[in-house]
């Protein structure tokens, strides 16, 4: 019997997802239906596949959406996180399993009892981060506990970066996922974590000046700034007694200090619009955030305002973005500062067709066993192939596809709104990911607990 998988939304992170399912479509009796607002944008290699059908799907068209869900065996939603709920409600109505790579929202969580009652599996956070981070962390944490160890410390860091061979700008960064999320990173709340038994809080305006440094063997040095709420997974991971729990985002050293310039200026603000933004030059946009002077140039005002010396590398980073170019124009109407900054950055930071991205993930596990404190460090590095087959789409799309097939084949059976932290889920998926070159290297290191010298600012 043919099983129909409905994939709603086919953006940047779906190339490996679609590839995986179509390669298995004959042996697993799968039929893929891709529902997207722009069906013409679906690459021909997918749309022309005999086991694939591409349909125009506007999720705000209730009749269209419900029909597509009702005909599926299982639904994968690759929509923006705030839109999953519409699909989720349809999945309950038509008794269909659901898989997403997004964080569990309060609205999704509220469906848990109804999902369980209907014997359905709503698997969320099954991409990269969240996703592979949960699974790889729980595999080591469960192993430590099975030997009688007690967890003392857990730190986890992930970065979507540019591969060294494509690293051609002073920021050592290019967009490998949703640029809007990069521009708005850290906003909407104070970063919260616990270190050596003490709660720590970092407000947004200080977030990029508090970084931890990490060395990844063979790949050099990185920095990490705190994610918004590291404590939300304390219960899920069973780390209520851990003295340190910290989750962060990785960048190359120097990125955060430079990004702080945009925070200070107010360019990452998404709360108001600039009425005359359309047609404004990059230079005029920069000048909006600087004091008036009848004599000083925009460049001079910027250097004074941010206290940047002419030989400071941050100055080179600003010049590289063409921020002072009067000929570069902004085409956006009534845009927020954050939207304009995103446009300017995309102008410089978009991967070219042959360029590659890189995913780096780094975990630290501190534990006590037989009265002795120990530490395991684990890291994963994945390099993309090109702009279409990125490391990001690989590490997000493959776990989503694998979980979907595991659910269809009744290998994952526990119902409810969930994340991939149980052995039933993570064991087979991590095992299969190894065959795609996605695996961790583990090192036993000296347990140091919290190292105050590793934090700047």
DSSP 231: G
How much is the average pLDDT of 367-382?
96
Name residue, tokens 């990185």: 222
pLDDT tens-place string over residues 439-452: 999 999 888 765 54
pLDDT tens-place string over residues 195-224: 999 999 999 999 999 999 999 999 999 999
Q: Do 3-123 and 132-258+353-454 share a fold?
A: no
End-to-end CA distance of the chain: 60
How much is the average pLDDT of 52-80?
94
The pLDDT score that the predictor gives to residue 457 is 37
pTM passes above 0.85: yes
CA atoms within 13 A on the CB side of 251: 22
Distance CA 158, CA 131 (A): 11
Among the ranges given (77-86, 338-347, 428-437), the one the predictor scored with the smallest mean pLDDT = 77-86
Among the ranges given (69-73, 228-232, 263-267, 359-363), the one the predictor scored with the smallest mean pLDDT = 228-232
The pLDDT score that the predictor gives to residue 207 is 95
pLDDT at residue 455 tops 80: no
Determine the CATH number of domain 3-123.
3.40.50.720
How much is the average pLDDT of 284-296?
96
The helix or strand, by DSSP H or E, that contains position 50, with its residue range, turns out to be: none
pLDDT at residue 396 tops 70: yes
The pLDDT score that the predictor gives to residue 267 is 97
In this prediction, residue 453 has a pLDDT band, given cuts at 50, 70 and 90, of very low
Distance CA 216, CA 45 (A): 36
**CB burial class (10 A; 0-12, 13-18, 19+) of residue 89?**
middle
* CA dist 19 → 2, 79, 294, 397, 402 (Å): 18, 18, 59, 9, 12
Determine the CATH number of domain 132-258+353-454.
3.30.360.10
Q: What percent of the chain has pLDDT over 70?
A: 98
Helix 313-320 crosses helix 298-306 at what angle (to 10 degrees)? 140
Determine how β-strand 220-226 pairs with β-strand 244-252: antiparallel
pLDDT at residue 161 tops 90: yes
The pLDDT score that the predictor gives to residue 450 is 52
Q: With contact defined as beta carbons under 8 Å apart, do 80 and 90 qualify?
A: no
Domain ranges, ordered by start, for the chain? 3-123, 132-258+353-454
pLDDT tens-place string over residues 4-54: 999 999 876 789 999 999 999 999 999 999 999 888 888 889 999 999 999
* CA dist 359 → 145, 241, 384 (Å): 28, 30, 8
Distance CA 24, CA 27 (A): 6
């Amino acid at each position: 019997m043919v099983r129909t998988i409905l994939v709603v939304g086919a953006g940047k992170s779906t190339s490996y997802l679609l590839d995986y399912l179509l390669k298995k479509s004959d042996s697993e009796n799968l039929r893929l239906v891709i529902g997207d607002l722009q069906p013409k944008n679906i690459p021909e290699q997918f749309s022309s596949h005999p086991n694939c059908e591409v349909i125009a799907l506007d999720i705000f068209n209730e009749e269209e959406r419900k029909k597509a869900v009702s005909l599926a065996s299982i639904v994968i939603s690759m929509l923006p996180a705030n839109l999953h709920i519409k699909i989720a409600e349809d999945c309950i109505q038509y008794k269909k399993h659901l898989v997403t790579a997004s964080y569990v929202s309060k609205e999704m969580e509220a469906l848990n009892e109804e999902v369980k009652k209907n014997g359905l599996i709503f698997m969320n956070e099954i991409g990269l981060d969240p996703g592979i981070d949960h699974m790889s962390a729980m595999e080591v944490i469960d192993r430590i506990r099975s030997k009688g160890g007690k967890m003392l410390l857990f730190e986890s860091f992930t970065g979507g970066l540019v591969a060294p061979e494509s690293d051609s700008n002073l920021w050592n960064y290019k967009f490998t996922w949703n640029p809007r999320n990069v521009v708005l990173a850290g906003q909407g709340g104070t970063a919260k974590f616990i270190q050596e038994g003490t709660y720590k809080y970092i407000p947004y305006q200080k977030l990029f000046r508090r970084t931890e440094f990490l060395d990844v063997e063979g790949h050099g040095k990185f920095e990490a700034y705190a994610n918004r709420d590291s404590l939300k997974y304390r219960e899920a991971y069973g780390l209520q007694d851990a003295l340190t729990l910290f989750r962060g985002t990785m960048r190359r050293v120097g990125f955060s200090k430079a990004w702080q310039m945009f925070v200070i200026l107010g360019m990452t603000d998404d709360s108001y619009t600039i009425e005359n933004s359309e047609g404004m030059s990059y230079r005029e946009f920069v000048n909006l955030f600087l004091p008036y002077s009848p004599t000083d140039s925009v460049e001079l005002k910027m250097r004074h305002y941010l206290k940047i010396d002419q030989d400071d590398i941050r100055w080179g980073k600003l010049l590289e973005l063409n921020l002072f170019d009067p000929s570069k124009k902004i085409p956006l109407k009534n845009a927020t500062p954050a939207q304009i900054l995103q446009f300017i950055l995309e102008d410089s930071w978009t991967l070219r067709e042959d360029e590659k991205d890189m995913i780096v993930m780094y975990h630290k596990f501190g534990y006590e066993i037989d009265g002795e404190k120990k530490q395991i460090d684990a890291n994963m590095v994945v390099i993309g192939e090109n702009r279409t087959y990125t490391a990001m789409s690989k590490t997000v799309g493959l776990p989503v596809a694998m979980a979907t097939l595991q659910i269809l084949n009744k290998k994952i059976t526990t119902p409810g709104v969930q994340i991939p932290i149980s052995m039933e889920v993570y064991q087979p998926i991590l095992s299969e990911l190894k065959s795609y070159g996605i695996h961790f290297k583990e090192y036993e290191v000296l347990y140091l607990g919290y190292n105050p010298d590793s934090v700047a600012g």
